[in-house]
Amino acid sequence: MKKIILLGTLLSLFSFVYADNVVNNESNIYQSFQKFDRQYNVGMGATSGQVFNGTQGGLYNNEFLNLEVERLFDVGVWMDFSAYLNTYYTQPDDPSVIEVGMTTGSQAQFGGVNAKVGYAFPLLKNTLMVTPYLLLGRNVNLSSYTLASAPSNANLTQDYFWTVGGGARVEYRIDDTFDLYLDQSAAYNASQAPTSQGLLPNDNYQYITTIGAKFNVYKKLQLGAQTFYTNNFYTHSLTTINGQSYVPTNSIGGLVSIGLTY
């Protein structure tokens, strides 16, 4: 069964690539946007946010490395794949997880891989385009809470989220050099981390608003910049025997990138 699903996926991707190559470029309504949306890049970002346990809280800060590959096909299919990894993190100690000592981190997603697949609809020729998409990802779910609530024989490779959701992106092309976009996504992070002692999983809803820009500065060289605001809503309080745990509630961040178009 898995082989059949894999074969079907490969055939679907092949059909996209084939259709992408046979479309006449002169009639390609996406050609102007493809100068920005066929690219790969590496970026560095930083985030600052709040953690809260219902009565008190504090600030957390992190820095991360991001890799991204994006492609807008001639047939209108849009795909974006990204992978990230935190390189720095700090926050106040959480008194509810004294079992793990000073190893405190309430923001569990310090790395992961996410994919967006959608279809682009041009609204104004060569100027404005909207792309609704679906989102699927696998993100690390490793925090003070998951460590404290895990069974003694738990394997850390089980500490991850399945992330599912969707969103839409509005893109405004100024000219062949400047491109702006607004992206709004909504996702559900379903925890796969094992818990013990009747403790609940740290499932949550996540809403991200992103404003970004791309600059084609020289030949195939592209620079990027974006700012984003994130809201997290947990399905229930995360309570241990020592009290209610900190959870991230909202954050603001930014990212700069350098890459190549293709």
User: Tell me, what DSSP letter sits at residue 40?
Assistant: E
Q: For residue range 1-16, what is the model confidence (pLDDT) as tens digits? A: 544 444 454 445 445 5
Q: For residue range 199-226, what is the model confidence (pLDDT) as tens digits? A: 899 999 999 999 999 999 999 999 999 9
Higher-confidence residue: 57 or 152?
Answer: 57
Are 170 and 181 a contacting pair, CB within 8 Å?
A: yes
Widest distance between CA atoms in the chain = 66
Please give the Cα distance from 104 to 120 (Å, whole number).
42
Please give the Cα distance from 185 to 166 (Å, whole number).
6
Closest-CA residue to 20 (of 8, 38, 7, 39)? 38
Please give the Cα distance from 51 to 251 (Å, whole number).
9
The total of other beta-carbon atoms located within 10 Å of residue 3's CB is 7
DSSP 209-259: EEEEEEEEEETTEEEEEEEEEEEEEESS--EETTEEPPEEEEEEEEEEEEE
Kindly list the structural domains of the chain, giving each domain's residue range(s) and its CATH number in brackets, ordered by start. Answer: 2-261 (2.40.128)
Q: In this structure, what are the phi and psi dihedrals at residue 177, rounded to the nearest 5 degrees?
A: -105, -35
DSSP 91-142: ----GGGGGGTT-------SEEEEEEEEE-EEEETTTEEEEEEEEEEEEE--
Q: Residue 24 pLDDT > 70, yes or no?
A: no
What confidence tier does 19 reach under pLDDT thresholds 50, 70, 90? very low
Please give the angle made by the CA atoms of 248, 249 and 250, to the nearest 5 degrees: 105
The total of other beta-carbon atoms located within 10 Å of residue 172's CB is 15
Q: Residue 146 pLDDT > 50, yes or no?
A: yes
Closest-CA residue to 9 (of 190, 130, 136)? 136
Mean pLDDT of 43-52: 97
Q: What is the pLDDT of residue 5?
A: 45
Q: For residue range 72-90, what is the model confidence (pLDDT) as tens digits? A: 999 999 999 999 999 999 9
Q: What is the pLDDT of residue 240?
A: 82
Residues in a beta bridge with 248 = 51
User: Tell me, what DSSP letter sits at residue 158?
Assistant: G
Residues in a beta bridge with 167 = 133, 185
Strand blocks (E) in 141-203? 160-173, 178-191
What confidence tier does 98 reach under pLDDT thresholds 50, 70, 90? confident
